[in-house]
Amino acid sequence: MVQGYRWEMREPEQPLERVEVPTFEPGTGEVVVEVAACGLCHTDIGFLYDGVRPRHELPLTLGHEVSGRVVATAADTSTWNDALVVVPAVMPCGHCTACETGRGSICPHQRMPGNDIHGGFASHLIVPADGLCPVDGPCDESELRQLSVIADAISTPYQAVRRSDLQPGQVAVVVGLGGVGGFCAQIAKAQGAVVFGIEVDADRLARMTEFGVDLAVDPSAMTPRDLKKTVRAFAKERGLPQTCWRIFECSGTTAGQATAFSLLNHGAWLSIVGFTRDPVSVRLSNLMAFDATCEGNWGCLPELYPPVLKLVRDGSVKIGPFIQEFPMSEVNEVLAAARSHSLDRRPVLVP
């Protein structure tokens, strides 16, 4: 019998409540993961404060960036016993038409911790075994905690970069260098791209020039036209293509999304990775005129997690400088701090 606790969201805009759980019991096809750490994402803030409705009825335990150890299994999942794992933020069923045609991200039966099922702001969580990403080889507790942010913060931009077919020597433009965007820039650099970063926060701009961004620019004092000229000149000076830029909108703001769209050029690919509920006014005809592509990106397919894990473990993508650990007992304080933008690194909660 596995006993523990959850921090439950019972009402929007109210503090999470700690609830003792007498037993975490896996069903068929499921395992119980003892949480090593759970990253805090702006999606959690959206559910708690911004009126975004989770698919699971309240009460609900938030948190979808989880790493840990399997401590209980069902009869059909016993091979996972004692495994170290990263839990994918989006877990498709694997059997429906969407999954069988390679579109698991839109699986109607998907389970997302902290949205469809209880998440990782807890001592333990119950998840499907299918799709779990094993962490093989030596891995101490500190590393295992850091690996939690692979689920979403790193895997989501990885899928976006992969879908864009980014090639070595191409221009990758990352709009928003905090959290997801910072990891997106590192991933693009690891793929051999030349990375142009756009960010209004001076500290993030300075930091990311040490972690993969070849030129970082604050767009706040520029017109969209001047910003595009700056990227074009940057590419020309380095003998890079003037077409087919890969643009990744990671800020999740209206200004960032408008900026990203304004940078479209011939053959460009624009990936919308960040989320905002606010509308953005753009001229869609630019997609036609530039023969460009704009695509959304929801999570990351579980089968892509192993190469993401490899990028992290071989040092191509750094996590440590971009996260800050907090005790799980401080979850309400950390949520409030993240909402007020008073944290400069991605918070990771540790039971």
Same domain assignment for residues 202 and 221: yes
Query: What confidence score (pLDDT) does residue 292 get?
Result: 98
Cα gap 289→119, rounded to integer Å: 44
CATH assignment at residue 28: 3.90.180.10
Confidence of residue 279 (pLDDT cuts 50, 70, 90): very high
Structural domain containing residue 127? 4-152+301-350
Around 326, how many Cα atoms within 13 Å sit in the side-chain half-sphere? 20
Give the closest residue to 166 by CA, choosing from 197, 198, 195, 208.
195
Dihedral sign, CA of 281, 287, 292, 298? Answer: positive
Give the closest residue to 177 by CA, choosing from 290, 274, 67.
274
Q: Taking the C-alpha atoms of 296, 300, 306 and 307 in order, what is their torsion angle to the nearest 10 degrees?
A: 10
**Residues contacting residue 249 through CB under 8 Å, at least 6 positions apart:** 175, 176, 256, 257, 259, 260, 270, 271, 272, 273, 274
Q: Could you give phi then psi for residue 43, rounded to 5 degrees?
A: -65, -40
CATH assignment at residue 284: 3.40.50.720
Strand partners of residue 133: 86
Same domain assignment for residues 219 and 203: yes
Q: Residues 19-34: pLDDT tens digits?
A: 999 999 999 999 999 9
- The strand pair at 171-175 and 194-198 is best described as parallel
Same domain assignment for residues 147 and 165: no
Q: Residues 188-246: pLDDT tens digits?
A: 999 999 999 999 999 999 999 999 999 999 999 899 999 999 999 999 999 999 999 99
Same domain assignment for residues 94 and 169: no
Using alpha carbons, list the distances in angstroms from residue 314 to 167, 311, 338: 20, 5, 30
In the chain, the number of structural domains is 2
Chain-centre distance for alpha carbon 92: 16
Same domain assignment for residues 20 and 132: yes
Same domain assignment for residues 134 and 57: yes
Q: Which two tokens stand for residue 349?
A: 């909660």
Pure H helices in the chain: 42-49, 97-100, 141-146, 155-163, 180-190, 202-208, 224-237, 254-262, 285-289, 305-313, 331-339
Confidence of residue 1 (pLDDT cuts 50, 70, 90): confident
Across 149-167, average pLDDT: 97
pTM value? 0.96
Q: What is the mean pLDDT of the chain?
A: 96
Same domain assignment for residues 74 and 172: no
Cα gap 297→253, rounded to integer Å: 16
Q: For the chain, what percent of residues have pLDDT higher than 90?
A: 97
Same domain assignment for residues 305 and 290: no
Q: Residues 337-351: pLDDT tens digits?
A: 999 989 989 999 999
Same domain assignment for residues 197 and 268: yes
Same domain assignment for residues 225 and 319: no
Same domain assignment for residues 28 and 165: no
Helix, strand or coil, per DSSP, at residue 330: helix
Helix, strand or coil, per DSSP, at residue 183: helix
Q: Is pLDDT at 273 greater than 80 in this prediction?
A: yes
Give the position of tokens 């990891």: 183
Q: Are 184 and 322 in contact (CB under 8 A)?
A: no
Same domain assignment for residues 144 and 205: no
Q: Residues 124-142: pLDDT tens digits?
A: 999 999 999 999 999 999 9
Query: What confidence score (pLDDT) does residue 221 get?
Result: 87
